[in-house]
């Protein structure tokens, strides 16, 4: 009995040491992933800091070392979502020739629709349930900057003409967002028909 207790005590010490030596980015990532899973399963309001640290397998002190509040985790999740989103879309765009701007826009459109549909549950939680007071949030700016650069490059090459690339980026992104939301609400999660409808609409706008 004593030997068993000693063995269990040593195992607990090893686990504790393992948690302490994990790199900071791993601990932060574990906390954010745990929070994301809980927010999706229970909702933001019902999820507590205790829930997050328990699922992540860390102490509460670790949580407060990196985040002051639960809301800080949500903001970090929004920013990570947008970074991952734009990185995934950038890969799709990079697969097209640099001088084929219409193909690059089509790749951007397909990439955003597919990424949005694949991650809509987390998106709905951190973007719809949580509304920050500051309108100038970083997460949307990352996406708009990416699209704005793509549109500006196409205009410079004569692929299309726009009154203002940023305004067009806002209209296109928000329009895509609304159409995909509507499709998901109607339990339609096939990217192909959504992309086809949006492509036809946006192509007319860009050709104008």
pLDDT at 1 over 70: no
Sequence-ordered alpha helix ranges (H) in 22-59: 24-42, 49-56
Confidence class for position 3, pLDDT limits 50, 70, 90: low
Mean predicted confidence (pLDDT) in 50-57: 95
- CATH number of 50's domain: 1.10.10.60
Give residue 5's domain range: 1-67
pLDDT value at position 26? 79
Nearest residue to 183 via CA among 119, 100, 117, 128: 117
Domain end (from 38, 67, 96): 67
What confidence score (pLDDT) does residue 118 get? 93
Same domain for 59 and 113, yes or no, is no
| 180 shares a domain with 83 | yes
Reported as type and span, the H/E element at residue 206 is helix 191-207
Q: Is the pLDDT of residue 107 over 50?
A: yes
Contacts of 92 (CB under 8 A, 6+ apart): 107, 108, 110, 111
Higher pLDDT, residue 2 or 151: 151
pLDDT of residue 43: 92
Kindly report the average pLDDT of the chain as a whole number.
Answer: 87
Do 34 and 130 share a domain, yes or no? Answer: no
Structural domain count, the chain:
2
Let me know whether 44 and 116 are in one domain.
Answer: no
What's the gap between Cα 207 and its chain centre? 30
Q: Which pLDDT score is estimated for 135?
A: 45
132: CATH: 1.10.357.10
User: Quick one: 192 and 92 in the same domain?
Assistant: yes
The answer, yes or no, to whether residue 5 has pLDDT greater than 80, is no
Instruction: Give the residue from 51, 67, 83 where a domain finishes.
Output: 67
Q: Are residues 34 and 135 in the same domain?
A: no
For the chain, percent of residues with pLDDT exceeding 70: 84
DSSP H helical ranges for 43-187: 49-56, 60-66, 70-94, 101-118, 120-123, 138-156, 165-185
pLDDT of residue 88: 92
Return the ∠ at Cα 103 (arms to 98 and 107), rounded to 5°. 100
Q: How far apart are CA 85 and CA 103, in angstroms?
A: 19
> Are 94 and 149 members of one domain?
yes
C-alpha 38/C-alpha 114 separation (Å) is 23
Condensed to tens digits (0 to 9), the pLDDT of residues 14-53 reads 455 444 455 677 789 999 999 999 999 999 999 999 999 9
> In this structure, are 2 and 51 located in the same domain?
yes
The pLDDT of residue 140: 82
Does 119 share its domain with 196? yes
Digit-coded pLDDT (tens) for 118-174 = 999 999 898 887 765 554 456 788 899 999 999 999 999 999 999 999 999 999 999
* pLDDT for 17: 46
Tell me the whole-structure pTM to 2 decimals.
Answer: 0.79
Higher pLDDT, residue 97 or 14: 97
């Amino acid at each position: 009995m004593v030997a068993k207790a000693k063995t269990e005590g040593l195992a607990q010490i090893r686990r504790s040491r393992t948690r302490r030596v994990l790199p900071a980015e791993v601990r932060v990532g574990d906390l954010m992933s745990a929070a994301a899973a809980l927010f999706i399963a229970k909702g933001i309001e019902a999820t507590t800091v205790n829930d997050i640290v328990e699922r992540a397998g860390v102490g509460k002190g670790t949580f407060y070392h990196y985040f002051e509040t639960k809301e800080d985790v949500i903001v970090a999740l929004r920013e990570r979502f947008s970074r991952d989103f734009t990185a995934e879309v950038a890969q799709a765009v990079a697969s097209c020739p640099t001088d084929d701007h219409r193909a690059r826009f089509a790749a951007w459109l397909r990439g955003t629709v597919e990424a949005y549909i694949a991650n809509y549950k987390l998106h709905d939680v951190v973007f719809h349930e949580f509304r920050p007071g500051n309108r100038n949030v970083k997460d949307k700016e990352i996406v708009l900057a990416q699209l704005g650069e793509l549109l500006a490059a196409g205009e410079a090459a004569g692929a299309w003409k726009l009154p203002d690339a940023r305004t067009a980026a806002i209209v296109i992104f928000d329009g895509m967002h609304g159409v995909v939301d509507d499709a998901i609400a109607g339990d339609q999660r096939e990217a192909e028909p959504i992309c086809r409808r949006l492509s036809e609409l946006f192509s007319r706008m860009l050709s104008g």
